[in-house]
Structure 1
Amino acid sequence: MSLNDTPRAMRLHIGLFGRRNSGKSSLVNALTGQHVATVSSVPGTTTDPVYKAMELHGIGPVVFIDTAGFDDIGSLGALRVERTRDAAKETDIALVLFSCMPDERAGVGNEDAFDWLERLQQRSIPVIPVIPVISRIDEGGGADALAEAIETKTGVRPVCVSAVTGAGIEALRTEIARRLPEDYRARSITAEVCASGATVLLVMPQDIQAPKGRLILPQVQTLRELLDRKCLVSCCTTDCLPAMLQSLAKAPDLVITDSQAFRTVHAQLPAGSRLTSFSVLFAAYKGDAPFFAESARKIAALPRDAHILIAEACTHKPLREDIGRVKLPRLLKKKLGEGIAVTVTAGHDFPEDLAPYDLVIHCGACMFNRAYVMSRVAACRRAHVPMTNYGMAIAALLGILDDVVIPGVD
């Protein structure tokens, strides 16, 4: 992916799930009109999930997730199936493939596919559209009987396709477009905190974590959206904030800062200006802002031997003054005492068992899509563990959370 491409986390994630050799990779190639996935008659060709960023006509930027067969066997097969389950957490729309083979016309041999379709349909945070697909209809008859069995059992009419002849491919594209999640196109980073045409000041300290010559992703995405919404945008680093405020004809309607600069920016906030941070905005864009805010307000009441999990989406090499490994633990210990324990995870590492933790603090999750963040929110809710994010946690620890604009809360 080039620097000009839509970031993967902002693309619609379309997951393909099916048994080994059910035609998942062939279907990806047929949908995109390109050879982007390796196809073989050997079962188990696809091992770990393969992510392919593409443009799908009529829909826009998407990521196809080509998963390993959920009928994989052996010790390695079990690990591959576990990776397929993880991929389901990132999926915005799921395609579940049923094989149309001579001995499978009434659903026999497709029991696993029925189980997976039902499991995906039951996911409620966020709700995931699930499309059953009868694949490889060119290789045998019985598609009508299998379609009847699927519709009777699931209440959803499947789409019948052949990656070889192209039959049904356009119908499947149309069905994907029709089943887009309700809020897919409507979600906005800034719409709830400022009107179109508002004056907005971005305070963007460029510390050692920022790639040389570039802004970090949340800054880029927020800036792009504000420009698209015809806002009047000014930018500066934290040390230039006094000069920037002095140069403006009037106070900005909104100031968006890096959360690490909350204390400095809050102290200089002009009367009439509202304050938020990139991390807080992404808490609402990617996750559950009301739950995060409620959880942040519980920090002060945590026990002095609390065990806190800090979850980062990035897997970067920790640098000096790293926010997740150094700055947040320092603030937490200053507030709660040295007796607390802090565990840090990165990337897709996230504990299945959350019972040992009193609080989860997540990063802004610019590298994850909303479906994946919400799967972690759901896990915390099931375990009755509060979950917040970096921006809200820092604001709460500094005592300024009530002065911060939170989308969906204020």
Structure 2
Amino acid sequence: MKDNKLHIILLGRRNSGKSSLINALTGQDISIVSDVAGTTTDLVKRSYEIPDFASVIFIDTAGIDDTGALGQMRVEKTRNAISQADIALLVITDNQFGEYEKELAERFKKLETPFLIIHNKRDEMPLQTSLKDDLSKTYNCPVIDFSTREDNTTAILEALKSVWNKDNTPKSLIGDLLSPGDIVLLITPIDSEAPAGRLILPQVQMIRDILDNHCTSIVLQPEEITPFLEKTGIRPRVAIADSQVFKKVAAIIPPEIPLTSFSIVLARHKGNFPAYLNGTPKIEELREGDRILMLESCSHHVSCEDIGRHKIPRWLQEHTGKNFQFDFIAGLDAITRPITDYAMVIQCGGCMITGKQLKNRLQPAIDAGIPVSNYGMTIAYLHGIFKRAIEIFK
């Protein structure tokens, strides 16, 4: 699944050999290699399987020292990509570790992103022992002297494994709430927002997670719930619904059966759940004309039934009796306004991005004291079922 892939970003100055290194790591000619500085002008991504470690996505970037108007745009894109990474490879050459490298290393530390320092092209100039010792001591990270012409990548791959904390690996979505043999009811409406011929990613992830925990999933549309419960007499361990039918489903599912949503499960799994819990009730403190930021982790066609673009904004304004301004940002596009322009930030479930990416996406708002919420938690609050929707997680 997409959210299980580790994103490994390569950063450094122009002509430091980042592209050659990514080709060596994957054993494929993915990035264009040239002696001309600045050959890589945009992000290049490649999926790869590292045996006994993880499925990863390597991200090649433009040189952090790029110049000119276009160069600065590329540098800004590179800087924005750092927050998307789970691990970083800082590539240097010629024993050069200056302000560019120090700034990157400090950014990694601030984001709590584990990193390696790779001194590349050692066949042209070996790494000085004094610099290696100094970098190892200062940043407490592996420092590797390397040549794409002479060395295999074993040392780098082993170092990647050593810096990655297994505790960061995404755990089960709801495994801690289940016992083998439990039945989980999944309510998945089929409407114009449902992709033709398939389920959306959170629903697929949930089914897989239930199977992994040796439990049974039963998938229904909302109108099938009552006949199913009456005919079978089954009382599921928990019911999980699509957020947009939360209000309808809450009126159908008996109160003794725990009820939550796919989005809230994802919020707990990879988001800052305490921040969501504290931020969601702040809806009551919104004022007329406030600006609200809606963050979507994927790009998709927008219809009149779109949950983030239309339904939540409408429900917010109906609930509060106030008018708000809304900004919508899809994928991992940069937030262009100062975060302090917003009175609230509401993030989707985040099924298409990693936990690290989601955390870094929301952290500036949390640091600034701006309330944050999640689609599912916002909807539950607006429909008066917030307490019920989070009860099972207590």
For residue 171 of structure 2, give the secondary structure of its aligned residue in structure 1.
coil
8 Å CA contact retained: 1:189, 1:222: yes
For 1:178 and 1:18, locate their aligned partners in 2 and report how far apart those are by CA, in whole Å: 22
What does residue 357 of structure 2 align with? Answer: 372
For 1:74 and 1:97, locate their aligned partners in 2 and report how far apart those are by CA, in whole Å: 22
8 Å CA contact retained: 1:134, 1:147: no
8 Å CA contact retained: 1:117, 1:132: no
Equivalences for residues 24-35 of structure 1 within 5 A: 24-35=18-29
2:101 maps to amino acid:
A
For residue 183 of structure 1, give the secondary structure of its aligned residue in structure 2.
helix
Aligned with residue 52 of structure 1, among 30, 46, 57: 46
For 1:232 and 1:325, locate their aligned partners in 2 and report how far apart those are by CA, in whole Å: 34
For 1:64 and 1:343, locate their aligned partners in 2 and report how far apart those are by CA, in whole Å: 31
Equivalences for residues 362-401 of structure 1 within 5 A: 362-401=347-386
For 2:386 and 2:157, locate their aligned partners in 1 and report how far apart those are by CA, in whole Å: 45
For residue 276 of structure 1, give the secondary structure of its aligned residue in structure 2.
strand
Task: Give how far 1:352 is off.
Answer: 4.6
Aligned with residue 117 of structure 1, among 105, 113, 123: 105
What does residue 145 of structure 2 align with? Answer: 160
The answer to whether structure 1 residue 239 and structure 2 residue 223 are counterparts is yes
Aligned with residue 132 of structure 1, among 95, 117, 133: 117
For 1:186 and 1:375, locate their aligned partners in 2 and report how far apart those are by CA, in whole Å: 16
8 Å CA contact retained: 2:4, 2:170: no
8 Å CA contact retained: 2:290, 2:325: yes
1:195-229 deviation line (CA, Å, top 9, x unaligned): 34321010011221222111111111111111111
The answer to whether structure 1 residue 329 and structure 2 residue 313 are counterparts is yes
Q: Which moved more, 1:251-260 or 1:193-202?
A: 193-202
For residue 188 of structure 1, give the secondary structure of its aligned residue in structure 2.
coil
For 2:255 and 2:367, locate their aligned partners in 1 and report how far apart those are by CA, in whole Å: 42
Structure 2 CA distance for partners of 1:402 and 1:142, relative to 1, 3 Å: closer
Instruction: State percent identity of aligned pairs.
Output: 36
8 Å CA contact retained: 1:289, 1:406: no
The answer to whether structure 1 residue 172 and structure 2 residue 156 are counterparts is yes
Task: Give how far 1:140 is off.
Answer: 2.0
Task: Give how far 1:152 is off.
Answer: 4.2
8 Å CA contact retained: 2:123, 2:150: yes
8 Å CA contact retained: 2:293, 2:327: yes
For residue 94 of structure 1, give the secondary structure of its aligned residue in structure 2.
strand
8 Å CA contact retained: 2:175, 2:209: no
Task: Give how far 1:302 is off.
Answer: 2.0
Task: Give how far 1:338 is off.
Answer: 4.1
8 Å CA contact retained: 1:143, 1:160: no
The answer to whether structure 1 residue 277 and structure 2 residue 261 are counterparts is yes
What does residue 81 of structure 1 align with? Answer: 75
8 Å CA contact retained: 2:193, 2:305: no
1:237-261 deviation line (CA, Å, top 9, x unaligned): 1122222222434210010110001
What does residue 340 of structure 1 align with? Answer: 324
What does residue 66 of structure 2 align with? Answer: 72
For residue 138 of structure 1, give the secondary structure of its aligned residue in structure 2.
coil
Structure 2 CA distance for partners of 1:313 and 1:186, relative to 1, 3 Å: closer
8 Å CA contact retained: 2:340, 2:365: no
8 Å CA contact retained: 1:363, 1:390: yes
What does residue 344 of structure 2 align with? Answer: 359
Structure 2 CA distance for partners of 1:134 and 1:197, relative to 1, 3 Å: farther
What does residue 91 of structure 2 align with? Answer: 97
What does residue 310 of structure 1 align with? Answer: 294
For residue 168 of structure 2, give the secondary structure of its aligned residue in structure 1.
coil
For 1:75 and 1:361, locate their aligned partners in 2 and report how far apart those are by CA, in whole Å: 33
1:255-286 deviation line (CA, Å, top 9, x unaligned): 01100011111111124311111100111222
For 2:50 and 2:170, locate their aligned partners in 1 and report how far apart those are by CA, in whole Å: 18
8 Å CA contact retained: 1:256, 1:275: yes
The answer to whether structure 1 residue 189 and structure 2 residue 178 are counterparts is no
Q: Normalising by structure 2, what TM-score?
A: 0.94
For 2:126 and 2:287, locate their aligned partners in 1 and report how far apart those are by CA, in whole Å: 64
Structure 2 CA distance for partners of 1:309 and 1:142, relative to 1, 3 Å: closer
For 2:110 and 2:327, locate their aligned partners in 1 and report how far apart those are by CA, in whole Å: 31
Task: Give how far 1:110 is off.
Answer: 4.1
Runs of 5+ in structure 1 lacking a partner?
Answer: 1-5
Structure 2 CA distance for partners of 1:205 and 1:171, relative to 1, 3 Å: same
1:363 maps to amino acid:
C
Runs of 5+ in structure 2 lacking a partner?
Answer: none
For 1:223 and 1:406, locate their aligned partners in 2 and report how far apart those are by CA, in whole Å: 22
Structure 2 CA distance for partners of 1:406 and 1:35, relative to 1, 3 Å: farther
8 Å CA contact retained: 2:287, 2:322: no
8 Å CA contact retained: 2:380, 2:389: yes
What does residue 272 of structure 2 align with? Answer: 288
8 Å CA contact retained: 1:251, 1:270: no
1:221 maps to amino acid:
Q
For 1:139 and 1:310, locate their aligned partners in 2 and report how far apart those are by CA, in whole Å: 50
The answer to whether structure 1 residue 297 and structure 2 residue 275 are counterparts is no
Task: Give how far 1:24 is off.
Answer: 1.2
What does residue 17 of structure 2 align with? Answer: 23
Task: Give how far 1:310 is off.
Answer: 1.4
For 1:90 and 1:265, locate their aligned partners in 2 and report how far apart those are by CA, in whole Å: 35
2:106 maps to amino acid:
E
For 1:192 and 1:60, locate their aligned partners in 2 and report how far apart those are by CA, in whole Å: 23
For residue 141 of structure 1, give the secondary structure of its aligned residue in structure 2.
coil
What does residue 250 of structure 1 align with? Answer: 234
